[in-house]
């Protein structure tokens, strides 16, 4: 009985790991860093995490969690409330429904698809932000941001693979 | 047994899929609704934001300290290297400033004597709340920071945020122990200013670039690069005379400002309580007594 309780607790902890890690990434992403003009080009780390989990462990990242992560990202970054929540939901469901076509094909394919995904996400968020502010917003920072996000994706994926192997190998 | 489990799964899978689909659509509409509601009813979005930000403020506060420490250490090494040059520069600057100090004293005396002739009512005293920047929460679309003080410390919406060099922005959202400062480079930022030397008024409009532009500047103003820009105090939110920046470029129909504040290195901000709730000076006190 006691044993079973610990076993269940262990399983539960492992199952929320992707969500907790993603929330941690959102918070860490909002910390001020002493890099010139860092603010406008800070890579979209949360989006990388959403993509990663949707691709490899969608069972551990329910859409409710995706939504919460998006709202938190909106609040901490000061983006229009709901914008990132909407984006993350779209990315999550899109990747999830096509994951059989991507997941088994090796990392290069996953990376290329990630490029398409953030391109789409970038266009949608730029359009929504421009509509909300009634003015076309400068594109350069967004372009740099997306490029940086794309380049840094393998680093985060590497990190998340470690996490997945360490905690979730048999979860 | 086996058969039963299989039938349950066969039955459960479509139900689960349908529930998933429904949840997805519901959340999708909820997000879209939040965007629209946030636009229509700013107060709602603000309440949600400040509540969540308040909750995360201690975490951000704790996490931003190591980042600040690393930055300080890097600065320290840089400073050691540049100590001699810096020293010479400062000595020179000191000489120059001593001259200015003399001028300032003369002007202060002159200004005091002129004021005493005019029965001038001095502006109400300002109070500062010092705050640490705990989140550099800007994206490609928004320029703002979160600071670690809120209405518990007397922070109010609309207060000006300054650092040592000049105006950084204005408080737009206030929680109990956190507040958001909209930087003057943000696309939503509008600040009434004047050109210091010529006293022409204009509105400083952010556009998410490093150099916000001037709008509604009178045509005859003809600003020159290097002209100082200060807050005008119009609208009564900001105290007049806060340094904002200098004119950087003057192109046809577009004047851009280089702010004094270095937005890449915001660490501490002072939120200025201009005492707008202080009683306005009465009219009789202003009118000089007739002989």
Residue B278 scores a pLDDT above 50: no
Asked if B192 and B235 count as a contact pair (C-beta separation under 8 A), the reply is: yes
Mean pLDDT across the stretch A26-30? 85
Residue B215 scores a pLDDT above 50: yes
Residue B64 scores a pLDDT above 50: yes
In the three-class reduction of DSSP (H, G, I as helix; E, B as strand; rest coil), residue B95 is classed as: helix
What's the confidence (pLDDT) of residue A165? 86
Tell me: ipTM over 0.95.
no
- Closest Cβ–Cβ partner in A38, A82, A145 for B34: A82
Classify residue B182 by burial, with Cβ atoms within 10 Å: 0-12, 13-18, 19+: buried
Q: Hey, are the CB atoms on B146 and A76 less than 8 Å from each other?
A: yes
What's the confidence (pLDDT) of residue A37? 61
pLDDT tens per residue across span B221-239: 888 898 999 998 887 778 8
pLDDT tens per residue across span B162-199: 888 889 999 988 989 899 999 999 888 999 999 988 88
Choosing among A82, A122, A144, which should be mutated to test the B contact, i.e. which has the most B CBs within 10 A? A82
What's the confidence (pLDDT) of residue B125? 61
Phi and psi based region of residue B144 (left: phi greater than 0; alpha: psi -120 to 50; beta: remaining): beta
C-alpha B64/C-alpha B77 separation (Å) is 20
Q: Hey, are the CB atoms on B67 and A34 less than 8 Å from each other?
A: yes
Q: What is the percent of chain B where pLDDT is above 70?
A: 86
Q: Hey, are the CB atoms on B38 and A142 less than 8 Å from each other?
A: no
CA distances from B175 to A83, B221, B243 (A): 22, 41, 27
Token pair listed for A20: 């907790």
Classify residue B212 by burial, with Cβ atoms within 10 Å: 0-12, 13-18, 19+: buried
Phi and psi based region of residue B235 (left: phi greater than 0; alpha: psi -120 to 50; beta: remaining): left
pLDDT class for B256, splitting at 50, 70, 90? very high
Q: Is A141 on the interface with B (CB under 8 A)?
A: yes
> Nearest residue on chain B to A129, judged by CA atoms?
B141
Asked if B187 and A79 count as a contact pair (C-beta separation under 8 A), the reply is: no
pLDDT class for A31, splitting at 50, 70, 90? confident
Mean pLDDT across the stretch B41-57? 84
- Closest Cβ–Cβ partner in A35, A66, A78 for B142: A78
pLDDT class for B19, splitting at 50, 70, 90? confident
> Nearest residue on chain A to B33, judged by CA atoms?
A82
The C-alpha of B192 sits at a distance from chain A's nearest C-alpha, in angstroms, of 20
Token pair listed for B28: 């999708």
Task: Return mean pLDDT, chain A.
Answer: 85
Q: Hey, are the CB atoms on B71 and A40 less than 8 Å from each other?
A: no
Q: What is the percent of chain B where pLDDT is above 90?
A: 18
> Nearest residue on chain A to B61, judged by CA atoms?
A31
Domains in chain A (CATH in brackets) are: 2-168 (1.10.1760)
What's the confidence (pLDDT) of residue B289? 40
| Chain B contacts in chain A segment 75-104 (CB below 8 A) | 75-83, 85-86, 89-90, 93
Mean pLDDT across the stretch A116-134? 85
Residue A72 scores a pLDDT above 50: yes
pLDDT tens per residue across span B110-167: 888 787 777 766 565 667 888 888 887 666 778 888 999 988 888 888 888 988 888 9
How do strand B190-195 and strand B201-205 relate by DSSP bridges?
antiparallel
Residue A117 scores a pLDDT above 80: yes
C-alpha B149/C-alpha B154 separation (Å) is 8
> Nearest residue on chain A to B208, judged by CA atoms?
A138
Backbone angles phi, psi at B212, to 5 degrees: -65, 160
Q: Please report residues of B whose CB lies closer than 8 A to that of A31.
A: 60, 63-64, 67, 135-136
The C-alpha of A135 sits at a distance from chain B's nearest C-alpha, in angstroms, of 9
What's the confidence (pLDDT) of residue B122? 59
Q: Which residues contact A91 (CB under 8 A, 6 or more apart)?
A: A47, A50, A51, A54, A117, A121
Q: Hey, are the CB atoms on B263 and A85 less than 8 Å from each other?
A: no
Buried b (16+ CB within 10 A) or exposed e, B54-68: bebbebbbebbeebb
The least confident of B12-16, B216-220, B261-265 is B12-16
Going by C-alpha positions, the residue among B137, B207, B203, B201 that lies closest to residue B172 is: B137
Q: Hey, are the CB atoms on A137 and B141 less than 8 Å from each other?
A: yes
pLDDT class for B280, splitting at 50, 70, 90? very low
What's the confidence (pLDDT) of residue B287? 40
> Nearest residue on chain B to A92, judged by CA atoms?
B24
C-alpha B159/C-alpha B156 separation (Å) is 6
Most confident by average pLDDT, A67-71, A126-130, B287-291: A67-71
pLDDT class for B268, splitting at 50, 70, 90? confident
What's the confidence (pLDDT) of residue B92? 92
Q: Please report residues of A whose CB lies closer than 8 A to that of B63.
A: 27-28, 31
What's the confidence (pLDDT) of residue B129? 87
Mean pLDDT across the stretch B210-231? 88
pLDDT tens per residue across span A75-113: 888 788 888 899 999 999 999 888 888 877 888 899 999
């Amino acid at each position: 009985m006691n044993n079973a309780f610990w076993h269940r607790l262990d399983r539960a902890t492992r199952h929320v790991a992707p969500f907790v890690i993603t929330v941690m990434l959102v918070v860490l992403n909002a910390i001020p860093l002493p890099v010139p003009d860092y603010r406008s080009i800070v890579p979209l780390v949360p989006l990388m995490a959403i993509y990663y989990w949707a691709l490899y462990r969608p069972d551990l990242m329910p859409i409710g969690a995706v939504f919460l992560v998006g709202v938190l990202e909106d609040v901490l970054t000061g983006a229009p409330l709901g914008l990132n929540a909407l984006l993350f939901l779209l990315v999550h469901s899109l990747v999830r429904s096509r994951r059989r076509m991507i997941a088994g094909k090796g990392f290069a394919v996953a990376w290329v698809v990630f490029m398409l995904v953030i391109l789409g996400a970038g266009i949608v968020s730029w359009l929504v932000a421009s509509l909300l502010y009634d003015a076309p917003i400068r594109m350069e920072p967004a372009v740099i941001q997306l490029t940086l996000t794309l380049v840094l994706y393998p680093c985060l994926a590497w990190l998340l693979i470690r996490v997945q192997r360490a905690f979730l190998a048999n979860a | 047994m086996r058969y039963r489990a299989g039938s349950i799964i066969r039955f459960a899978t479509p139900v689960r899929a349908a529930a998933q689909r429904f949840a997805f659509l519901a959340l999708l509409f909820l997000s879209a609704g939040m965007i629209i509601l946030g636009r229509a009813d700013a107060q709602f979005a603000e309440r949600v934001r400040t509540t969540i930000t308040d909750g995360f403020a201690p975490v951000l506060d704790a996490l931003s300290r190591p980042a600040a420490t690393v930055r300080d250490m890097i600065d320290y090494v840089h400073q050691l290297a540049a100590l001699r040059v810096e020293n010479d520069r400062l000595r020179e600057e000191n000489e120059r400033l001593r001259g200015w100090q003399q001028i300032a004293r003369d002007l202060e005396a002159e200004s005091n004597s002129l004021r005493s002739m005019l029965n001038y009512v001095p502006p109400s005293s300002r109070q500062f709340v010092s705050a640490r920047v705990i989140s550099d929460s800007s994206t490609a679309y928004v320029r703002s920071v979160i600071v670690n003080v809120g209405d518990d410390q007397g922070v109010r919406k609309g207060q000006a945020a300054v650092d040592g060099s000049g105006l950084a922005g204005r408080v737009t959202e206030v929680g109990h122990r956190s507040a958001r400062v909209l930087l003057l480079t943000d696309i939503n930022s509008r600040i009434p200013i004047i050109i210091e030397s010529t006293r022409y008024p204009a509105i400083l409009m952010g556009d998410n670039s490093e150099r916000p532009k001037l709008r509604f500047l009178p045509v005859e103003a003809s600003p020159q690069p290097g002209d100082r820009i200060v807050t005008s105090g119009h609208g009564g939110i900001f105290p007049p005379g806060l340094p904002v920046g200098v004119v950087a470029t003057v192109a046809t129909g577009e004047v851009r400002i280089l702010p004094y504040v270095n937005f890449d290195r915001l660490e501490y901000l002072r939120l200025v309580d201009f005492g707008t709730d202080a009683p306005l000076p009465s009219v009789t006190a202003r009118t000089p007594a007739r002989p």
